Structure 1
Amino acid sequence: DSSFDLVHQKFMVGAFTEVQWEEKVIPELMRLVRSDGWIEISEADAILISDGTVTRRIAKAFHDFLVSKGINPSIGKEIPRIFENSNVFSEIKHQQKTIKLGKKHGESGKESLRFCVSGLNSARGTLATSMNIIPEHYDALLETMYIEAEKCSTDFIQHRICARKI
């Protein structure tokens, strides 16, 4: 309890419902950080913004899957409000950045795309079933995402939220 000056958490957008964020996740982070310490949360919106038809199709399937589980695909937008409502934090800062995907955006874009496709691959069975396709067809669609990222604009929003515990 109250042991750390800084607690950092990231990439948990698909793990918790909004209620769990409010009632379990943020309170647990509050428990870990000492007074005058910081919590930093980095979450990407689980929503791809793309001109590519295949990418949009997979992104919609993933979005719909999260919503069906009660998970907010844009929880990063809500975390500042959760911090504020706790009345335990000051200096709440929220930064948003558009992350561009694909090699045409340098090493960062290449790695961000790889990370994104890897995450979607981890939901392969569930998403293939929800899309009414066989897993091998889903694999081919994921490969098409790499092509579309180079031809089309594909990006997502990354949120970075920092708050100081009172």
Structure 2
Amino acid sequence: MNNNNNSICNKSVHKKNVQHPLLINFGENQDGDGFDEFILDTFRFVGGRRYHNVSSSKYFLPNDLPEMDRLEKQHYLFLHIWRNNFSAPVREKIITKRKSSLHMAFEYPSAIFIGVDISPIFPSEQKKPDNATFLQNMLDGLPFEDDTFDFVYQRSLASAISEDQWKNDVIYELHRVTKPDGWIELMEPEFLFSKETDAPNCHKFSRALLGFLATLGINGFISSQLENILTSTKLFKNIHCEERSTPIGQWGGRLGEMMCNDYIESAEACKPALSQFIGISHEKFDSMLENIRMEINQNRLYYKTRRFYAQKA
């Protein structure tokens, strides 16, 4: 997700082991039309769900239509929680309205939006505006010259990027492609609910998730550490951290119910990996999810998200 009047340059750049950072606004609401001929090479199928087929990636969630629908709904949940698409002070320069990157590309034809993802689950050419471009599988770095973008935005990759990659690759690569005095922004969730010790199934699931991530070298607590990581690079000024705690479950009203549904759907998407890690059947995993939903609705739990934005020094 990206934008601004910059063309893609052909000059070679040094490449880092970066997952799928988003250059100026992340568009997660994509469909997979037009890629049937590549399906065997591009995707794999487990338990009736479709996944990317990139062995070098740590990303383990599906990329099928149910997951894309979930991410679409989640986008608008985050928009409601934060009241904007991003927090960095770039609205006057780049965009002024609260819409997804695809919609913003239609509305602001003078800006260029570039979305990056590991899988080719992008809008068809018929649905894509001329000023929006989508790139696949940027695991080896971003193919742009230094100092290219005014704003680089990335979110929801805490479960896909190792702590070593955060500290040694990702932040440096986002910094590299950002213009001097430009901004980067990161948004990541907390994987533990507040007071979840009162909800044993919630606690069991989140601890299993954290344990599974640890086997991949992923620090599930990275959301609470990104501000320090940004500071330690000495590459940025005006570093900010903002936090939102959102009631989840029926006590949070309609938003809380929708957040609960999103959490259960994302947990269900983890079933192939986590049921094997925990050592339980899919049926017992489903039963655990039913208990999690009940506990979420019986306890006053909060779902926490954080945004970090910083200006390139």
TM-score, shorter chain, exceeding 0.5: yes
- Of residues 276, 283, 293, the one that matches 1:136 is 283
Matching residue's letter, 2:305: Q
Matching residue's letter, 2:163: E
Q: 1:117 maps to which residue?
A: 264
Residues 13-162 of structure 1: pairs in structure 2 closer than 5 A: 13-49=158-194, 50=196, 51-162=198-309
Deviates more, 1:96-105 or 1:11-20: 96-105
Query: Unpaired runs of 5+ in structure 1?
Result: none
Cα distance in 2 for residues equivalent to 1:151 and 1:46: 19
Matched-pair contact (CA < 8 Å) for 2:213–2:219? yes
Matched-pair contact (CA < 8 Å) for 2:244–2:304? yes
Matched-pair contact (CA < 8 Å) for 1:45–1:158? yes
How far off its partner does 1:83 sit? 1.3
Secondary structure in 2 matching 1:104: helix
Secondary structure in 2 matching 1:91: strand
Secondary structure in 1 matching 2:254: helix
How far off its partner does 1:28 sit? 1.6
Query: Deviation string for 1:102-133 (max 9, x for gaps)?
Result: 13202332222222222222220221122221
Query: Deviation string for 1:19-62 (max 9, x for gaps)?
Result: 10111111121122111111111101222332212111111111
Distance 1:26-1:98 versus aligned 2 partners, 3 A rule: same
Select the structure that is richer in strand.
1
Q: Determine what percentage of the aligned residue pairs are the same residue.
A: 26
Residue 8 (str. 1) matches residue 153 (str. 2)? yes
Report the count of equivalent residues.
166
Cα distance in 2 for residues equivalent to 1:129 and 1:47: 21
Q: Which has the larger radius of gyration?
A: 2
Matched-pair contact (CA < 8 Å) for 1:47–1:73? no
Cα distance in 2 for residues equivalent to 1:149 and 1:127: 20
TM-score, normalization: structure 2?
0.50
Select the structure that is richer in helix.
1
TM-score, normalization: structure 1?
0.91
Secondary structure in 1 matching 2:218: coil
Which structure exhibits the higher relative contact order, with contacts defined as CA atoms closer than 8 Å and separated by 6 or more residues? 1
RMSD across aligned C-alpha pairs, in angstroms? 1.6
Query: Unpaired runs of 5+ in structure 2?
Result: 1-144
Matched-pair contact (CA < 8 Å) for 1:66–1:73? yes
